[in-house]
Structure 1
Amino acid sequence: MIYALIILLIAVVAYLLFRKKNAQVAATNLTPHIVYQSLLNEHVRYYQKLDAAGKARFENKIAEFLAETRIEGVGTDITDLDRVLIASSAVIPVFGFPEWKYQNLTNVILYPDTFDQEFQFEGENRNILGMVGSGYMNGQMLLSRAALTKGFSDQAGKENAAIHEFVHLLDKSDGATDGVPENLMPHEYAMPWLQMMHREMHRIEEGKSDINPYALTNEAEFLAVASEYFFEKPQQFQTKHPEIYRQLSQIFGQDPVAPNP
């Protein structure tokens, strides 16, 4: 009888320990999603406009990106908000492509503020908000935290530096950063898109467009700058640039005025 009680007691203790371990594992898996959900609800307008199914898919894409991409800080510690905003910047342009993964990105390096061509964030001549690495820096993205957080703030306007850099990555995924993301658009649309870009670039030169003049740098910058506007102020962009809006909707496979692709 005593032995039976001892065995029963051991079994009960083992069961309770098993349940506690499973509860801890479940809490570990659930906690990041709860944290991300709270931060997304507070800081990411794109996410706020999604329906319940869209939000759940967005959260899963955030988790996938963070599991596959290393985020490092230079002169700063990385916070949960940093992770969520960087991941959101990655997910937003490809939300219309559920299976998309950034094959040309291994890690994101976050600087506290703007930096220079030598990757220094102190001193003069610091005017770089973000950069997609090439050469020995291939597979890396550099971002300014100041620019990152501003892009998701009420003061962002039509600009989002992190989305800008992720659009460059998408553009680069076909082997050329040329403003024509061939992995995202049928080949027959390439020439009409180039012609549309050049017409709008002339309008910018003439002061007849509200697209940031930095878009005049080249076709790649036009795509990235117009994409910032497209995702940040979609209703305004659709009203003022309906043809470009339709083309970007085809390129990105989504309509941010009416989300939930």
Structure 2
Amino acid sequence: MPLVFLTILTLSVLAAIFLPPVWRQYRRKKIQQRPFPSSWRQILKQRMPYFRALPADLQLQLKKLILVFVAEKQFIGCAGLTVTDEMKVTIAAQACLLLLNKPAHYYPKLKQILIYPAAFVVPTQQADHAGIVSEMAQIRLGESWQTGQIILSWLDTLKSAAICNDGHNLVIHEFAHQLDQLKGQATGAPELNSAESYKEWALVLSHEYAQLQQQLALGLPTLFDAYAATNPAEFFAVISEVFFEQPELFAAQHPALYQQLRSFYALDPLSWAQTHPVPPVRS
């Protein structure tokens, strides 16, 4: 092969490898330099009291994350719903909480957010003890798929954003699944920094998961919703909700587990909950 063609081929290969990430980084930097729209600030003020509880540096960081998230993700209205900026910003603000203080990857597998007006019906199949499969319909508030989609009920998204200290947040739950699915199937163990981190994570979370199942079996009250005992993936998603929304109770009742999430999310909601309490929800 002539040298000139070999050189062109080599440059083409190098460009295919390096240019997309470089261009993406450049484009995101330019997006983050844009002024945050005043109408979007009003949406945060009206729909997300949690935002007002964040320290100023995290507020600024979150706004930059929102700008890129809204620019890169496709929002699709379902069942006749028309997508608005209010929907995009309200969802993006909650989703990007999980990205604060972390290398910005913006949920790389996620391409689309499908929004239903309210709870939606999903057809499923269930086999009985005899192996007979029956068609069923389940009502869902949200779903996270490995294939690049998240589905949300807008009504429940609004409720989650407005009541930000009850330990329940639909968007945080589904986007925690997305973090768990970065490596493939959701297992309750998202991508961590080292083998030692995985070892500590497995030790603490398996203990806490077993403890929750035991408490539920005995009918004892628990901080975490019973749905967390479904499987390790749901456990991680549920405790992520509580980590952001009820850090004081979480840290007091489950200190070792709180430290694991504090390390993973590179955040300490307890510190700002004490100095920047969440404003009361206005009816």
Aligning the two structures, in what range does the TM-score lie when normalised by the shorter sequence? 0.7 to 0.9
Partner of 1:139: 148
1:172 to 178, 181, 186: 181
Letter in structure 1 aligned against 2:247: P
Partner of 1:222: 235
Higher strand share: 2
Partner of 2:84: 79
- SS in structure 2 of the partner of residue 152 of structure 1: helix
Residues 200-258 of structure 1 deviation map (CA, whole Å, 9 limit, x = unaligned): 33223333313100111100001111111111222222223222212211121111122
Partner of 1:36: 40
Residues 27-62 of structure 1 deviation map (CA, whole Å, 9 limit, x = unaligned): xx54x5222222212322332122332211110100
Range with greater deviation from structure 2 (235-244 or 182-191): 182-191
Partner of 2:161: 152
Partner of 1:100: 105
Alignment of 1:237 onto 2:241: no
- SS in structure 1 of the partner of residue 187 of structure 2: coil
C-alpha distance in 1 between matches for 2:101 and 2:164:
26
Paired residues for 1:46-61 under 5 Å:
46-61=50-65
C-alpha distance in 2 between matches for 1:184 and 1:33:
36
Range with greater deviation from structure 2 (68-77 or 155-164): 155-164
Change (3 A) 1:234 1:156: closer
Letter in structure 1 aligned against 2:61: R
Letter in structure 1 aligned against 2:238: V
Letter in structure 2 aligned against 1:257: L
CA RMSD, 1 decimal: 2.3
C-alpha distance in 1 between matches for 2:193 and 2:219:
30
C-alpha distance in 2 between matches for 1:47 and 1:90:
12
Residues 88-124 of structure 1 deviation map (CA, whole Å, 9 limit, x = unaligned): 12101121314232111001000001111149xxxx9
The answer to whether the 8 Å contact 1:204/1:211 transfers is no
1:110 to 82, 107, 115: 115
Alignment of 1:258 onto 2:263: no
- Larger RCO: Structure 1 or Structure 2 (Cα < 8 Å, ≥ 6 residues apart)? 2
Range with greater deviation from structure 2 (188-197 or 85-94): 188-197
Change (3 A) 1:184 1:112: farther
TM-score with structure 2 length normalisation?
A: 0.72
- SS in structure 1 of the partner of residue 140 of structure 2: coil
% identical aligned pairs: 29
Residues 115-169 of structure 1 deviation map (CA, whole Å, 9 limit, x = unaligned): 11149xxxx95520000124xxx10111101110110123872111111000000
C-alpha distance in 1 between matches for 2:257 and 2:142:
24
How many residue pairs match? The answer is 224
- SS in structure 2 of the partner of residue 127 of structure 1: strand
C-alpha distance in 2 between matches for 1:78 and 1:162:
16
Partner of 1:204: 216
- SS in structure 2 of the partner of residue 39 of structure 1: helix
- SS in structure 1 of the partner of residue 76 of structure 2: strand
TM-score with structure 1 length normalisation?
A: 0.78
C-alpha distance in 2 between matches for 1:222 and 1:66:
28
The answer to whether the 8 Å contact 2:180/2:233 transfers is yes
2:198 to 184, 187, 198: 187
The answer to whether the 8 Å contact 2:165/2:246 transfers is no
Structure 1 stretches of 5 or more lacking a match?
A: 1-28
C-alpha distance in 2 between matches for 1:147 and 1:59:
22
Bigger Rg over Cα: 1
C-alpha distance in 1 between matches for 2:81 and 2:88:
13
- SS in structure 1 of the partner of residue 219 of structure 2: coil
Letter in structure 2 aligned against 1:112: P
Change (3 A) 1:194 1:259: same
Change (3 A) 1:233 1:50: same
